[in-house]
Structure 1
Amino acid sequence: MKLERLISMIYKLLNNEVVSASVLAEEFQVSQRTIYRDIDVICAAGFPVVSYQGMNGGYGMMDGYKLDKSLLGTYDVNSLITVLHSLSTVFEDERAQGTIERLKTVGTEHQTPSLAVNLETHRNDHDALRHLRKGITEHILVRFDYINTKNERTTRELEPVMLYYKYRNWYVYGFCRARQDYREFRLSRMMNLSLTPETFQRHLEVPKETVLPTKEWQDQVSDVVFRVSPEALAEALDHFQQADKQFNDDGSMTMRIPVYQPLQARWLRSFLLGLGSGVVVLEPLELREILKEQLQHALLQYEEV
């Protein structure tokens, strides 16, 4: 603990012109007398700490003393600081804050930021992410209720391995004891997440993601073609960035996307229905009939309203 405090103090002094003993004592939750002893140790280690007297006095590094900046370029450092800052906000990670302090010593001061990363999540997700992070780092089994793609609710016990952020959502990957295999779970579908008293032994090898055989997968992929009206363009483009797109004379856009088993793809039906009158499916014709039936069924729910 003392060594970590000394290292943190060194970077604090490198990042600031002058820092008072009272400020350091409050930050590290020790007495000012302890800070004075720590400063002596830092000086003995060869760091040129200077004492400044007066009302705004304190400690700082000798002018001109800098860490070697040859390892990382300024662009790399500032980009790392931006990403780490966003992660530290999500996980409330003090270690990430300490790393940011160290990186600032080799960054360029007063540089206008050219990169911003926002991983902001709901408050409840913050707690779930911290539980999952702790489960991963300390090998603790986690338990949660989960709603799968068939809208079935099950209780799962997971040996978490990795958290990752993709397509604007958080996912956790790990060994599911119910399925006796590695699975991916989307955070938004997880409820009542908790850390159990049980720890687990990390498996020696994490299997790679299972990939469908190319021929089998290709045989079940078909193009879905739909026309999007001008008022629904932004939402459709946000969702289907990689689609083949063609503007029409009336300002609408025709989109073509390859979909695995499109007639069974619930996510696709949900999205298309969510656009309402802003989208018309052109192909396949079977998908048009499925959407029509779902709309008619939805109307029945409001007959007495």
Structure 2
Amino acid sequence: MKNNRLFRILYYVLGKGKVTAKELADKFEVSVRTIYRDIDSISGAGIPIYATQGKGGGIEIAEDFVLSKSFLSENEKQQIMSALQGLDSTTKQYDNELLIKLSALFKIKSSNWIEVDFTNWQNNKLHEKAFSDIKNAILSKHVISFSYFSSNEEETLRYVKPIRLLFKSQDWYLYALCSLRNDFRYFKISRMRHLEIQNQTFEDSFENLVLEKEIPHENTVKIKIKFDRKAAFRVYDELNGEISEDDDGNLYTEMEMPKDHNLYSYIFSFGDGVEVLEPKEVRIQIKEMISKMAEKYII
């Protein structure tokens, strides 16, 4: 079975259960006659694939068929093991039993050459439970509800159809269909509270839904910033734009950010090691906020 198309047909039929020759022909862009020749080749390799005629007929594989591990190359086996090592790191509720079993099946000694850990240094158990609950809701197609704290300082109760979990930059997000907005939305898991899995289920299929690669923001502003040298470790860690340096070691860059509370929270997180150079309106707002903060510390 040297022809890669035969493998693809095999995996496709395994996934679908039963397909027609025309469906396979359209999928792999060959003639129906070629598909039947391919089916004969697959059958000749010892795989119980067969075609039935008439209404409700089609091409299928015997239900008790198990794909032999010999169909996987050594490189493919290693890729599966590495992928599972990374997946296991998304939650700590499972042990490494599956990795041990596959290691024995593939006759591969599992080497810990990579460590992936999506949890933060605080080991937040609440975050871990939310991740697990959301994952279960996605797989079982249950509506979930939660209180959500948005970047514009609003708290709202949301009922959503969960679709997919996304790790973006340094945070986990849920992509879901929100009943409140009647639209698809990203929700940052760390901003969710009182998450509950509802009894209500949904039939919608979001399998082929393409997620937006950027989290949309309606109102953004481009700012020019100067950083003290002491903030260099964060600048190079967190900012991806072009960064220049003057003779004193100060760093300069431009960045576009949502024009909301997050903008000022991020700037203030650098303390006195940052100065916004432009635009003027942001400088004025920062000055007013500093004045208000100073009033709280009058002695």
* Aligned counterpart for 1:138 among listed residues 137, 140, 144: 140
Distance 1:211 1:169, change over 3 A: closer
| Alignment partner of 1:79 is 2:82 | yes
| TM-score normalised by length of structure 1 | 0.65
Structure 2: give runs of 5+ residues left out of the alignment: 1-67
Native 8 Å contact 1:159 1:176 kept in 2 = yes
Native 8 Å contact 2:144 2:195 kept in 1 = yes
Match of 2:246 in 1: 248
- CA distance, structure 1, for counterparts of residue 288 and residue 279 of structure 2: 15
Distance 1:283 1:72, change over 3 A: farther
Count, aligned residues: 225
Match of 2:292 in 1: 297
* Aligned counterpart for 1:271 among listed residues 266, 271, 282: 266
Distance 1:301 1:82, change over 3 A: same
Amino acid at match of 2:179: R
Structure 1 runs of 4+ off > 6 angstroms? none
Match of 2:102 in 1: 102
State the 1:206 CA deviation.
6.6
State the 1:200 CA deviation.
1.8
- CA distance, structure 1, for counterparts of residue 207 and residue 85 of structure 2: 32
Native 8 Å contact 2:163 2:206 kept in 1 = no
Residues 154-165 of structure 1 aligned to structure 2 (within 5 Å): 154-165=156-167
- CA distance, structure 1, for counterparts of residue 210 and residue 72 of structure 2: 37
SS at structure 1 position matched to 2:290:
helix
The percentage of aligned residue pairs carrying the same residue is 22
Native 8 Å contact 1:81 1:103 kept in 2 = no
Native 8 Å contact 2:226 2:253 kept in 1 = yes
Distance 1:80 1:72, change over 3 A: farther
Match of 1:31 in 2: none
Amino acid at match of 1:268: L
Distance 1:198 1:210, change over 3 A: same
Residues 110-259 of structure 1 aligned to structure 2 (within 5 Å): 111=111, 113-121=112-120, 122-203=124-205, 208=210, 223-240=222-239, 242-257=240-255, 259=256
- CA distance, structure 1, for counterparts of residue 249 and residue 198 of structure 2: 55
SS at structure 1 position matched to 2:243:
strand
SS at structure 2 position matched to 1:224:
strand
- CA distance, structure 2, for counterparts of residue 72 and residue 194 of structure 1: 43
Native 8 Å contact 1:69 1:106 kept in 2 = no
State the 1:229 CA deviation.
0.8
Residues 28-39 of structure 1 aligned to structure 2 (within 5 Å): none
Match of 1:19 in 2: none
Native 8 Å contact 2:85 2:99 kept in 1 = no
State the 1:151 CA deviation.
0.8
Match of 1:282 in 2: 277
Native 8 Å contact 1:227 1:279 kept in 2 = yes
Distance 1:225 1:184, change over 3 A: same
Match of 1:58 in 2: none
Native 8 Å contact 2:90 2:119 kept in 1 = no
Native 8 Å contact 1:245 1:255 kept in 2 = yes
Native 8 Å contact 1:160 1:172 kept in 2 = yes
State the 1:75 CA deviation.
4.8
- CA distance, structure 2, for counterparts of residue 98 and residue 115 of structure 1: 17
Native 8 Å contact 1:81 1:100 kept in 2 = no
- CA distance, structure 1, for counterparts of residue 226 and residue 206 of structure 2: 50
Structure 1: give runs of 5+ residues left out of the alignment: 1-65
| TM-score normalised by length of structure 2 | 0.66
State the 1:275 CA deviation.
0.8
Native 8 Å contact 2:135 2:165 kept in 1 = yes
State the 1:81 CA deviation.
3.6
State the 1:93 CA deviation.
4.2
